Amino acid sequence: MARLTPAVLRSLDVLELFLDARHGLTAPEVAQRTGLPRTTVHELLTTLAERRYLRREEGSATYHLGISVFRLGNAYAERLDLHSVGLRVAQSVANECDETVHVGILEGPDVVYVCKVDSTQSVRMVSRMGGRVPASCTALGKALLANLPETERIRLLRKGLVRLTARSITEPHVLANQLDSIRAVGAAFEAGESTPDVSCVAAPVRDHTGTVVAALSISVPDMRWNQRSPEEWAAIAVSGAATFSAELGFHGALSTGQPSAVSPQRQHAAG
């Protein structure tokens, strides 16, 4: 049997501590849990942070899992058909409403589109798979931001909000109030905040652990938005997200409230 590399084992031991550390860990906590010398722990944390497997919280000594871990996990998830499941569900939702459907993930303050199915109608939202949009300006991003741990959400909001259109929310307290509403009802709206004359609704997608790993949205030109009520649009998005979540192994209720309990106007009013 080939010899295992001690340095790699120590690095993996450190990373695996963060699987259950939702609020992060400090260097002394890592040293205590691993029994490694503090100097060794400092070197390991610094190296892992440099390669973005860990991220040090701004203004704090606390470390969290970094984007490189997500990328590895996302690559693995794609092998488990995360991408193909998302595309299949998005296609099913698009077939039902004939509007553009996106699946996106959160990367820092931005949403990245990982799946997209276009509407067959001549007037539709223009976007591209792999494109990035400020999360605060999109229903997709709001659904993801609303389900972040509070400390992470506060950290992102403190960095400031981008204005893409005259309707984009740029006041953190307004967005924070809206995110509380979104988290409670399980559906997010935006009206012309990222693209003029386009309204969107989105719902979170959860994996087998109940963690929100993506969101599914429907983007509708305003000329067709009133063909259904906001509650009907929300129900389609929530149903699609629930199907997606179930295929990822999630067996709980997708939201804590009813998507029909909120509309775009009421979400703005809540802010």
Is residue 147 over pLDDT 60? yes
Per-residue pLDDT tens digits for 164-203: 889 999 988 899 999 999 999 999 999 989 888 899 999 9
pLDDT band for position 45 (50/70/90)? very high
pLDDT tens-digit series, residues 60-72: 889 999 899 888 8
Q: What is the mean pLDDT of residues 1-30?
A: 88
Closest-CA residue to 182 (of 86, 259, 76): 259
Quickly state the pLDDT bin for 84 (edges 50, 70, 90): confident
At 98-141, the pLDDT tens digits run: 999 999 999 888 998 888 898 887 655 555 555 788 999 999 99
To the nearest whole percent, how much of the chain has pLDDT over 70?
86
Domain boundaries defined on the chain: 6-65, 76-270
What architecture (CATH level 2) is domain 6-65? Orthogonal Bundle (1.10)
Categorize the per-residue pLDDT at 81 as very low, low, confident or very high, splitting at 50, 70 and 90: low
Residue 174 contacts residue 185 (beta carbons within 8 Å): no
The rounded distance, in Å, linking the Cα atoms of 114 and 47 is 29
Give the architecture-level CATH label for domain 76-270: 2-Layer Sandwich (3.30)
What is the Cα–Cα distance from 225 to 228, expressed in whole angstroms? 6
Confidence (pLDDT) at 124 = 52
Please, which residues bridge with residue 101 across strands?
117, 218
